[in-house]
Chain A
């Protein structure tokens, strides 16, 4: 890592830390209480950003995978893999926070609802992506197979998002990314926007860290190959 890259990595970590602290304060202190759900709705400020990061991370994986399949660039493969791993983390967190929220409001931890089921499928597909990479020897073959899975796996993202409209669902319909104005109170929306920005900064930091790890691993392999 060059000095400039090290400084940038440090800055992205600090920006994410400050943004997360501000978002936490706004979510737990500044956001108004919900008239129907009370305070438990505050889970929105970690649940929705986690789901947003899952979409973003798998979109980046999709773009990196397509770039690798078209040009065979190993850097594109590394970006796709790093983003997929972070995406799996946040999909898992969206499911976990959703389950806690579901227990408080629906009375159950889990329901085979279209949104929940398609999200679980998304989580499992990209978990398979991460595990598959660990199990394939040979850099080019590993990159090719995971790029194919990255492209196919991303096809599930729009299905997850529109599942609440395509099928009858217990989960609420989209409140922000929808035709027309968002159906959420403006004060709550501002805090949600801050949380989404903070989580996006965290995503940038985590992917940078993961990419650094990939670069270090690549150098180790080169050293090992050099000594035979």
Chain B
């Protein structure tokens, strides 16, 4: 194949760009999922303020 460097450059550019995009998407998704777990853990660890008992008519 006499034009191998050009053909190779074209195919490798396409393969490299697509692979990089897929890896980026997966990393972004993994980062978002980590953020969600952190939020869930933070909510679970937050102590809840005890409320005063309230009757149905709003009296205490």
Chain A residues with a Cβ under 8 A of chain B? 24, 28, 37-40, 42-43, 46-47, 50, 89, 92-93, 96-97, 100-101, 103-104, 202, 206, 209-210, 212-213, 216-217, 219-220, 223-224, 227
Contacts and interface: CB of A to CB of B under 8 A. Distances in A.
A219 B2 contact: no
A39 B7 contact: yes
Interface of B is mostly: helix
Contact of B42 (A92, A202, A227): A227
The binding surface of chain A is classed by DSSP as helix
B2 A39 contact: yes
B6 A213 contact: no
Contact of B25 (A104, A209, A219): A209
Contact of A97 (B14, B29, B36): B14
Contact of B29 (A28, A96, A216): A216
A224 B18 CA distance: 32
Contacts of B40: 223
Contacts of B43: 227
B2 A38 contact: yes
A38 B54 CA distance: 86
Given A206-B21, A210-B25, A213-B29, A223 B36 contact: yes
A92 B6 contact: no
A223 B2 contact: no
B41 to A, nearest CB: 11
Nearest to B46: A227
Contacts of B25: 206, 209-210, 213
Contacts of A28: 7, 11
B10 A47 contact: yes
Interface string B36-60: 1001101100000000000000000
A113 to B, nearest CB: 19
Contacts of A92: 17
Nearest to B35: A220
Contacts of B26: 209
Contact of B11 (A46, A104, A210, A217): A46
